[in-house]
């Protein structure tokens, strides 16, 4: 399993990939069945990293009921640049 760190520097273990696309892969998160991690294939720009961090800070329960909105960022090391994000798991939609 791959280990990444959330915005608070706490480790998260990624589980199996649920899907892959052009910009990244979505993985299960060990111990967090209601959430998934999107991990980018390539490094993202500083602007996009800042946008994801700000979006995660704006997450609200009513928003999370209707959107797969970022709730936290992911980094390969606690001090590294953002590499992905955590979002609620949504099943049955395309």
For the chain, which residues make up each domain, given as ranges? 3-88
Fold of 3-88: Phosphorylase Kinase; domain 1 (3.30.200)
The span from the first CA to the last CA of the chain, in angstroms, equals 26
For every one of its 94 residues, what pLDDT tens digit does the chain have, with 9 covering 90 and above? 689 999 999 999 999 999 999 999 999 999 999 999 999 999 999 999 999 999 999 888 888 777 888 999 999 999 999 999 999 998 765 5
CA gap 58, 45 in Å, rounded: 20
Instruction: Give the pair of three-digit tokens for residue 78.
Output: 């606690």
Stretch (H or E) spanning 64: helix 61-64
């Amino acid at each position: 399993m791959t280990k990444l760190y959330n915005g608070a520097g706490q480790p998260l273990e990624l589980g199996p990939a649920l899907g892959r696309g052009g910009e990244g892969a979505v993985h299960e998160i060990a111990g967090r069945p209601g959430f998934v991690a999107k991990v980018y294939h390539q490094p993202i720009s500083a602007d996009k990293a800042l946008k994801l961090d700000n979006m995660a800070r704006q997450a609200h329960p009513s928003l999370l009921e209707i959107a797969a909105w970022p709730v936290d960022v992911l980094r390969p090391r606690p001090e590294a640049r953002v590499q992905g994000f955590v979002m609620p798991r949504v099943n049955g939609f395309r």
